[in-house]
């Protein structure tokens, strides 16, 4: 019989051979009783103030009936063999005369959808407006070094999607979801380290992602799929509520099944959808600024005197503050330990910020967005004759346009020492030592809405009490963090299709069903499974 056992603790400098011993000790069984031992999760517990941090494992193991009387059975959780297996993609063998499915967008959602569709034998066409990874890297370097923006290939558009220039965290709620396992195992098949299958907070880094994503593309092609870069979807055509074709830069491609995975930076896609029969709905989103402080401070706050231990790596944090009378809630988001703050843009004269890291996470700073949630009712109506659903996008664009101007008009990031922000003073200078060299002193109160600045001013000093040891004049705030989530959801039914256009499968972050690399990848798989159902 197979069981799961939780809470096996090992010291920081454990050896692999220590795990079976620790399991046997915890269960009260002889070592030989335990077979088929497989670690399921590994997390770090650094909560105790006076105790060294420890690794905590859960494992799966076989234990024969004869050993049960010896074992502490209360600790053993009988394992459902179906629960912890990845999904199985069925092979489509019927020869019904249907057009091949098209996937739009090669971010985590689109790539995983195309991978699963190719695996099913459906020979999908994957189209992506931006360039493949290698060309994209060159364009992004030019943007960061010289402020030269390509509106089709940039930090947000191109193979790998928005997540390519990211921290590459693969955080998710459960290790038991069959789709999550499929997603992580696919990444391992493409070269990701095996540890991502068990680590509680796995991390890849932008450098590893840039190797993994092209391998994923190669698999899609090897399995019969086609991938076209520099190909932008401009129009969807439907007839009597059914999708009939897509227009890709002038070329009309007939199709009855399209996975729309264009991410939430593609505002032209939202504009196109808002003028089409595709149903959309407003959703909450969040806006704020990115805060940077020395990584050393974060390490000491979390790991105390054990900071610097080679097994610990770099520490991260998650801070939240509830809504209070006169102030909105505020929370930290997308923390990048040992990383840098980056400028991002996908359209001219609009600037947003984000964080990224390499696999080593060895830079001297940690950064995180500190964002404030906004409800659809918080967004001022424009009453400009365009569909009102687009108002939230204009609200974001307005902030990004100010960030561009206050950054000096060349895609340098506007930034302020936290001390200047709190006292509402125009900053005179920035610390020399910072992760983003192309940053200029700017008054963030001129960029972000006043109510949002008031919330940040109120919340940040309290929240930062958890990270003591750094003067507010050495902490930097960069503006503006506008793209943490989509303000629009593309409404879909229980069959994964748009409620108004059959054959359109909206998915991923842009459609409002994901927030992060893992959830976007999982949603891409889910969309592929829905598409496959229609071909069975
Ligand atoms: C800088 C940054 C750092 C991040 N860090 C992390 C992190 O560490 N961990 C994490 O989990 N998440 C992170 N995220 C969020 C994560 O990247 C997104 O949640 C995820 O990429 C969403 O995946 P997606 O496939 O839905 O959309 P996207 O990744 O946005 O991909 C959409 C793709 O569609 C393409 N596209 C758009 N319009 C068209 C069109 N008309 N025609 C053809 N193609 C089109 C785009 O070029 C893009 O490649 C980060 C995001 C950013 C921007």
Tell me, in angstroms, the distance from the centre of ligand 1 to residue 112's CA. 13
For residues 287 and 353, what is the distance between their CA atoms, to the nearest angstrom? 11
- Helical (H) or strand (E) element with 460: helix 450-463
In this structure, what DSSP letter does residue 380 have?
P
Pair type for strands 77-78 and 352-356: unpaired
Neighbours of 334 (CB within 10 A): 20
Ligand 1 pocket, Cβ-based, cut-off 6 angstroms: 104-110, 127-130, 156-158, 161-163, 165-169, 232-233, 261-263, 265-266, 269, 334, 344, 354, 356, 508-510, 514-518, 520
For residue 82, what is the DSSP state? T
Backbone angles phi, psi at 520, to 5 degrees: -70, -45
User: From ligand 1's centre to the CA of 156, what distance in Å?
Assistant: 6
Residue appearing with tokens 């890291």 = 357
pLDDT for position 84: 64
- Give the total residue count for the chain: 536
Instruction: Find tokens 């399991």 and name the residue.
Output: 23
Q: Residue 346 and residue 326: Cα distance in Å, rounded?
A: 34
- Looking at ligand 1, which residue's alpha carbon is closest to its atom 13? 516
CB-based contact 486:281 (threshold 8 Å): no
Tokens 């923006």 sit at which residue? Answer: 149
Could you give the CA distance from residue 245 to residue 236 in angstroms, rounded to a whole number? 6
CB 159 within 8 A of CB 217: yes
Give me the residue label for tokens 């005179």. Answer: 428
Query: Quick one: CA dihedral 366, 439, 288, 209, positive or negative?
Result: negative
Q: For tokens 């909560």, name the residue.
A: 47
| Structural domains in the chain, sorted by start | 2-78 (3.30.70.2700), 102-281+487-535 (3.50.50.60), 285-385+398-481 (no CATH)
Q: How far apart are CA 351 and CA 401, in angstroms?
A: 6
Pairing of strands 125-127, 226-228: parallel
Residues 6+ apart with CB under 8 A from 450: none
Beta bridge partners of 42: 57, 199
Instruction: Provide the residue-wise pLDDT of the chain in tens; the chain has 536 residues.
Output: 899 999 999 999 999 899 999 999 999 999 999 999 999 999 999 888 788 999 999 999 999 889 988 899 999 999 877 666 778 899 887 666 789 999 999 999 999 999 999 999 999 999 999 999 999 999 999 999 999 999 999 999 999 999 999 888 898 766 558 899 999 999 999 999 999 999 988 999 999 999 999 999 999 999 999 999 999 999 999 999 999 999 999 999 999 999 999 999 999 999 999 999 999 999 999 999 999 999 999 999 999 999 999 999 999 999 999 999 889 999 999 999 999 999 999 999 999 999 999 999 999 999 999 999 999 999 999 999 999 999 999 999 999 999 999 999 999 999 999 999 999 999 999 999 999 999 999 999 999 999 999 999 999 999 999 999 999 999 999 999 999 999 999 999 999 999 999 999 999 999 999 999 999 999 999 999 999 999 98
102 - beta bridge partners?
125, 258
Q: Which residues of 514-536 are buried (b: 16+ CB within 10 A; e: fewer)?
A: bbbbbbbbbbbbbbbbbbbebbe
Give the model's pLDDT for residue 76: 93
Distance CA 491, CA 496 (A): 9
Contact predicate 34/61, CB 8 Å: yes
List residues bridging with 233 in a β-sheet: 248
Residue whose CA lies nearest to ligand 1 atom number 3? 166
Read off the tokens for 103: 């996937």
Give the distance (Å) from ligand 1 centre to CA of residue 486: 11
Q: For residue 182, report the phi and psi dihedrals to the nearest 5 degrees.
A: -60, -45
| Contact call for residues 63 and 71 (beta carbons, < 8 A) | yes
Tokens representing 80? 């459902």
H-helix or E-strand spanning residue 524: helix 517-535
- Which is nearest to 513 in space by CA: 530, 535, 533? 530
Tokens 């991938």 correspond to what residue?
Answer: 227
Closest atom of ligand 1 to CA, residue 336: 8
**Measured in angstroms, how far is the CA atom of residue 510 from the centroid of ligand 1?**
8
> What single DSSP character describes residue 329?
-
**How far, in Å, are 104, 118, 180, 394 from residue 125 at the CA level?**
8, 9, 24, 32
Between the alpha carbon of residue 528 and those of residues 158, 212, 320, 327, the distances in Å are: 21, 20, 35, 42
Query: Among 128, 163, 316, which residue has the most ligand 1 atoms within 8 Å of its CB, making it the best to mutate?
Result: 163
Residue 171 has what pLDDT?
A: 83
How far does residue 7's CA lie from ligand 1's centre (Å)? 35
384 alpha carbon – ligand 1 mean position (Å):
29
Report d(CA 400, CA 81) in Å as an integer: 50
Are 162 and 154 in contact by the 8 Å Cβ rule? The answer is no
C-alpha to C-alpha distance for 175 and 172, rounded to whole angstroms? 8
Supply the residue whose CA is at minimum distance from atom 15 of ligand 1: 516
Predicted pLDDT of residue 80: 79
SS3 (DSSP) at 68 = helix
Cα separation, 180 vs 177, in Å, equals: 5
d(CA 162, CA 107): 7
d(CA 266, CA 249): 15
Task: Please tell me the distance between residue 163's alpha carbon and the centre of ligand 1 in angstroms.
Answer: 5
Distance from Cα 105 to the centre of ligand 1, integer Å: 9
Q: Work out which ligand 1 atom sits closest to the CA atom of 109.
A: 25
Q: How far apart are CA 153 and CA 155, in angstroms?
A: 7
CA distance 496 to 530: 6
**Spatial CB neighbours of 220, under 8 Å, sequence gap ≥ 6:** 111, 114, 115, 118, 124, 126, 227
Strands (E), 82-128: 102-104, 125-127
Q: Is 22 exposed, middle or buried (0-12, 13-18, 19+ CB in 10 A)?
A: middle
For residues 5 and 103, what is the distance between their CA atoms, to the nearest angstrom?
Answer: 41
């Amino acid at each position: 019989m197979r069981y799961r056992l939780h809470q096996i603790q090992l010291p920081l400098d454990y050896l692999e051979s220590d795990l079976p011993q620790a399991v046997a000790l915890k269960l009260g069984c002889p070592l030989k009783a335990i077979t088929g031992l497989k670690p399921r999760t590994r997390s770090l517990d650094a909560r105790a103030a006076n105790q060294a941090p420890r690794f905590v494992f859960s494992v799966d193991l076989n234990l024969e009936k004869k050993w049960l009387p010896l074992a502490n059975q209360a600790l053993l959780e009988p394992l459902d063999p179906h629960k912890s297996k990845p999904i199985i993609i069925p092979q489509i063998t019927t020869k019904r005369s249907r057009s091949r499915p098209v996937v739009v967008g090669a971010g985590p959602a689109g790539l995983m959808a195309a991978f699963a569709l190719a695996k099913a034998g459906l020979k999908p066409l994957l189209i992506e407006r931006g360039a493949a990874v290698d060309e994209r890297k060159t364009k992004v370097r030019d943007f960061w070094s010289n402020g030269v923006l390509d509106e089709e290939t940039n930090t947000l558009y191109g193979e790998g999607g928005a997540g390519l220039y990211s921290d590459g965290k693969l955080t998710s709620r459960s290790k038991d979801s069959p789709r999550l396992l499929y997603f992580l195992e696919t990444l391992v098949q493409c070269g990701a380290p095996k540890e991502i299958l068990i680590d509680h907070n796995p991390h890849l880094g932008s450098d590893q992602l840039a190797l993994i994503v092209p391998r994923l593309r190669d698999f899609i092609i090897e399995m019969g799929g086609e991938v076209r870069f520099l190909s932008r979807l401009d129009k969807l055509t439907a007839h009597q509520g059914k999708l009939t074709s897509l227009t890709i830069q002038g070329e009309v491609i007939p199709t009855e099944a399209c996975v729309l995975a264009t991410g939430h930076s593609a505002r032209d896609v939202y504009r196109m959808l808002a003028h089409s029969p595709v149903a959309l709905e407003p959703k909450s989103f969040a806006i704020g600024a990115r805060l940077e402080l020395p990584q050393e401070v974060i390490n000491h706050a979390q790991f105390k005197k054990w900071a610097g231990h080679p097994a610990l790596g770099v520490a991260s944090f998650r801070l939240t503050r509830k809504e209070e009378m006169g102030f909105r809630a505020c929370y930290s988001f997308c923390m990048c330990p040992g990383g840098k703050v980056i400028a991002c843009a996908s359209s001219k004269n609009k600037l947003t910020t984000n964080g990224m890291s390499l696999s080593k996470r060895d830079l001297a700073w940690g950064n995180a967005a500190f964002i404030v949630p906004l409800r659809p009712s918080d967004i001022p109506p424009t009453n400009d004759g365009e569909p009102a659903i687009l108002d939230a996008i204009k609200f974001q664009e307005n902030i990004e346009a100010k960030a561009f101007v206050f950054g000096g008009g060349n895609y340098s990031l506007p930034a302020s020492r936290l001390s200047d922000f709190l006292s509402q003073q125009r900053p005179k200078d920035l610390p020399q030592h910072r992760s983003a060299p192309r940053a200029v002193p700017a008054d963030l109160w001129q960029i972000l809405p006043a109510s949002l600045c008031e919330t940040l001013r109120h919340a940040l000093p309290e929240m930062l009490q958890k990270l003591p040891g750094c003067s507010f004049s050495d902490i930097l705030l960069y503006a503006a963090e506008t793209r943490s989530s989509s303000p629009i959801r593309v409404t879909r039914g229980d069959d994964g299709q748009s409620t108004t256009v059959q054959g359109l499968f909206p998915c991923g972050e842009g459609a409002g069903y994901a927030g992060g690399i893992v959830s976007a990848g999982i949603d891409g798989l889910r969309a592929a499974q829905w598409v496959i159902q229609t071909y069975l």
